[in-house]
Amino acid sequence: MPRLTDITWDEFSAMGLEEKTPYLSRGDDGMTPYHTLFAQQFDRPLLERLCELANRIRFINKSREGAMYLKSVLAHKRAMLYFSQPSSRTFLSHLAACQILGLTTGSVRDAATSSEFKGESNEDSVRTFSSYFDMIIMRSPRQGLAEKMAWELSNSSRPVPILNAGSGKDQHPTQALLDIYTLVRSFETKGGLDGRTVVFCGDLLRGRTVRSLSYLLTRFDGVRQIFVAPRELQVPDDVTAVLDAKGVEYSLSGNLKAAVKEADAVYMTRIQDEWDGTKGESAAIDTTHFKFGAEELALLKSDGVIMHPLPRRDEIALCCDHDPRAMYWRQMRNGMWIRAALIAAVFGCERTIMECGYR
């Protein structure tokens, strides 16, 4: 199995994402991640294994004895949560996932409280965390920082796994995992996720969750993707290039109602205006037709689902919240279970948990 110590940063960074995948794996099966950086690291068997592991952890955690057992699994490990961009769910669900498995945690959520305020680089900060912790869960506005740090740490005297909890406008692999887990659970008694139609709506240009989930959906058979957005915020070419290369059926549209009629799942996203320049460009874009409300709800199939990575603004009307097809609350909790599964797998505890005596 190739290793990050065998390759220079320049050689590694020049590779395609699928080509990078074996360098990031634990080395036991070529797929299970050591560093988790992007969606391309997850193939169908690995996704299925992680969903099963998440189900198992969810089940074991129901009893006091089971929860105590899970807390013993990684009680000897510490994780650092380094979030230099705002976060509620991703931070808390990773924290809760660590707590379920017994990891102790530290956190920096604001550079103003760390030595970065004194001018320390992100790179030196991550290097510092690796001195005290066994895993670094990080979110950064800097695209590529998690990947650079994975290479740096693997080539240092204290290699520890990096878990990307959102990198710039680029990728959000653990969000995509929880989205897949939610879709798999939503359709598990209804014939599965293969062959379904998923509609993405909102800011598809700057939403990193869309890029990661669109890729993971290509791991399922015949999943059609419809991208609904104002022209200025339509899905970028690198996403459609992947779909073209894989022969996935997709279309771009400006008509949410028409797309909802075809949808098995509608994935709404907010306008990512934190990426605007000083002029506040987003405010000039007409987004009125890219909101999910009572009319769209009436058009959605009876077994369709509405998803959102959250936070929401007004792109899903409050009247949808109590509809059984509103899956965004469950989606959020699913994030905790699938992140616990991923962390367990990164530390090589998948079999221990799958084969433990709790039934």
Shortest Å, Cβ 210 to ligand NCD: 9
Q: Is 3 a catalytic residue?
A: no
Q: Note the residues at the interface with ligand NCD (CB under 6 A).
A: 89-90, 166, 172, 175, 208-209, 269-270, 309-311
Q: Tell me phi and psi for residue 329, to 5 degrees.
A: -75, -45
Report the DSSP beta bridge partners of residue 171: 167
Q: Which residues contact 270 (CB under 8 A, 6 or more apart)?
A: 202, 203, 207, 311, 312, 313, 315
Q: Which is nearer to ligand NCD, 42 or 151 (CB)?
A: 42
**Tokens standing for 291?**
């909101």
**Spatial contact of 144 and 167, defined as CB atoms under 8 Å apart:** yes
Please report how close the Cβ of residue 126 comes to ligand NCD at its closest, in angstroms.
Answer: 19
172, 185, 211, 339: the active-site residue: 172
- Residue closer to ligand NCD (CB basis): 130 or 175: 175
Residue 106 pairs in a beta bridge with 80
Strands 78-83 and 162-167 turn out to be unpaired
User: One of 20, 56, 58, 139 is an active-site residue; which one?
Assistant: 139
Closest separation in Å from C-beta 89 to ligand NCD = 5
Closer CB to ligand NCD, residue 262 or residue 276? Answer: 276
Computed on alpha carbons and rounded to an integer, the radius of gyration of the chain in Å comes to 20
Catalytic choice (26, 71, 89, 333)? 89
For the CB of residue 162, give the shortest distance to ligand NCD in the complex, in Å. 17
Q: Which of 32, 90, 209, 218 is catalytic?
A: 90
Compute how many other C-beta atoms are within 10 angstroms of the C-beta atom of residue 300: 21
- Identify whether 311 is preceded by a cis peptide bond (ω within 30 of 0): yes
Which residue's CB is nearer to ligand NCD, number 2 or number 86?
86
User: Is residue 246 among the annotated active site residues?
Assistant: no
How many CB atoms are located within 10 Å of the residue 236 CB? Answer: 14
Q: Is 89 a catalytic residue?
A: yes
Whose Cβ is closer to ligand NCD: residue 66's or residue 207's?
Answer: 207
Strand segments, DSSP code E, in the chain are: 78-83, 104-108, 135-140, 162-167, 197-201, 224-228, 250-253, 265-268, 305-307
User: Least distance from C-beta 332 to ligand NCD, angstroms?
Assistant: 8
Residue nearer to ligand NCD on the CB measure, 25 or 269: 269
Check if 139 is active-site: yes
Q: Is 172 considered catalytic here?
A: yes
Q: Which of 64, 118, 279, 359 is catalytic?
A: 118
d(CA 38, CA 165): 10
Shortest spacing between CB 61 and ligand NCD, in angstroms: 22
Which residues are annotated as catalytic?
Answer: 89-90, 118, 139, 172
